[in-house]
Chain A
Amino acid sequence: MALKLPIYLDNHATTPVDPRVVEAMLPFFNLQFGNAASRNHAFGWEAEKAAENGREQIARLIGATAKEIIFTSGATEADNLAIKGVAEMYREKGNHIITMVIEHKAVLDTCKRLEKYGYQVTYLPVSKEGLIDLDELRAAITDKTILVSLMYANNEIGVLQDIESIGKVCHERGVLFHTDSTQAVGKIPFDVQKMNVDLASLSAHKMYGPKGIGALYVRRRNPRVQLAPIIDGGGHERGMRSGTLNVAGIVGFGKACEIAAQEMPTEIERLRGLRDRLRANLESKLDEVYINGSMTRRLPNNLNMSFAYVEGESLLMGINDVAVSSGSACTSATLEPSYVLKALGVGEDLAHTSIRFGIGRFNTEEEIDYVAERVAEVVSRLRELSPLYEMAKEGVDLSKMQWKAD
């Protein structure tokens, strides 16, 4: 069977929409196109019915009830709504928020904005494995703390926080717990009841659904969470998020959740197998490669590796028939290396050499083997070009070098 190039291995950035999801969505563009809020005719009723069905499917995947699902344009908006919504609503109770240094920018930048408005934010550090310390969390909570926001799965290194224990700590202290579960939902089991979660951000396009639709889970019982909206208007979504519902998107999102629920157990094993195979292949072909973040508490489909002495962007350029991403500064618009890798204590030189592989539903074993070979080939070639590799082989201690940088 011929390999279809280029190969897509960047499934943390986005995923292709599952053909079954596309099929489910299509009628809602030009056949069942009504506005779900049109109460007075069949076009509206059928749109509403489709939206409610989608809501059910999403709720079921995460152990919630349909009334607890608020639709947004994506996880970024959900993060904004959760954090700003709680901050405003619970301002009388307190003004302190706790999060961590490796959160997605959608959480970090939202917190930075709140700091400008006089809120206090604690950014918990992480260990070399990428995990927060529960005792440090306990110590950080004060009587002014109104929210803890800690992501379940990190988008760069795939590391999983101990959400269940974190939720327990928060509930003991009467603090709301929000988790950005974008990278975890549909990939690994996530149950808001079992994990003591009060708010959770979800996104469709990370789980084989369409871009432009996400949701915020908002707990209604024990406790009942209240949110100030960040978008005002027609009062949709119980007043929490105005704006006409993206019915086609919701239908797609729902279908993606239904598929995920059915296929998760087998998919987890298959993707973990592919990930482990990729890792083993690379480690057998190359020396001085390092995994970033815990391998035991990790998404089954994520591999984040540093290839010493080879810069990330030049590596990506060399494997131009494979789509992955890098933590190198050269690949970011701001020329800053990955802050997540930095927080793990990965030296800046190694941060520039990191590659993130995100394996997905449509990747095959053949593709994995091809990628391993290409990566090994290009790394070897670039090491021949690398003055650092040359110096290391000569026995120079690079950490003791005095560099002439401008």
Chain B
Amino acid sequence: MAYSEKVLDHYKNPRNVGSLPKNDPNVGTGLVGAPECGDVMKLQMKINPETEVIEDAKFKTFGCGSAIASSSLATEWVKGKTVAEALKIKNTEIVKELNLPPVKIHCSVLAEDAIKAALADWKTKRGADEPAERAQASAD
């Protein structure tokens, strides 16, 4: 089983490795997978609160080459997209881009999950702020 060129490229030169401050209100953090399965992905995005554009993304992954490549690609793709656009990213697109064999498809699924988890986290954080703002507005 030889690895695809693209997977090797992402593995050797992963894009956007690192972390964003978890407590920043504009950062959404998604942590998916489990060590027992051999796959854990942490994906973080910094999102502009007005435009909802994803300004920065970082990842860390415990997993095989295909898992690393899938999450690296995910950070590349979400940067510059709006939240709504990022939610539309499908694992099948990742499979196609990286030429993942059938046995590695689940890695792309996890990457899609990571994107969604990070966005959901950001939404939850925003939701925690909103009631205070609405209360303020109605008080005016």
Contact = CB atoms under 8 A, between A and B. Distances in A.
Interface of A: 309-314, 317-318, 328-331, 333, 335, 337, 347-349, 352, 384-390, 398, 403-406
Nearest to B7: A317
Given A310-B62, A349-B35, A403-B40, 10 more contacts: A311-B63, A312-B38, A314-B11, A314-B64, A347-B35, A385-B61, A390-B19, A403-B35, A404-B31, A405-B37
Mostly, the B contact residues are mixed
B17 interface: yes
Contact of A405 (B3, B11, B33): B33
A349 B68 CA distance: 17
26 contacts: A309-B62, A310-B62, A311-B39, A311-B62, A311-B63, A312-B38, A314-B11, A317-B3, A329-B37, A347-B35, A347-B36, A348-B37, A349-B35, A349-B38, A385-B17, A385-B62, A387-B40, A387-B62, A388-B40, A388-B62, A398-B35, A403-B34, A404-B31, A404-B32, A404-B33, A406-B109
A394 to B, nearest CB: 10
Contacts of A406: 109-110, 113
Interface of B: 3, 8, 11, 14, 17, 19, 31-42, 60-65, 67-68, 103, 109-110, 113, 117
Mostly, the A contact residues are helix
A174 B25 CA distance: 74
Query: What 7 pairs between A and B have smallest CB-CB spacing?
Result: A349-B35, A403-B34, A405-B34, A387-B42, A313-B64, A348-B36, A330-B64
Contacts, number: 89
Contacts of B33: 403-405
Given A317-B11, A387-B40, A390-B19, A335 B103 contact: yes
Scoring A310, A331, A384, A406 by chain B CB atoms within 10 A of each residue's CB, the highest score goes to: A406
B139 to A, nearest CB: 38
A374 to B, nearest CB: 14
B14 A385 contact: yes
B35 A329 contact: no
Nearest to B117: A404
B41 A387 contact: yes
A395 to B, nearest CB: 14
Contacts of A388: 35, 40, 62
Contacts of A330: 38, 63-64, 67
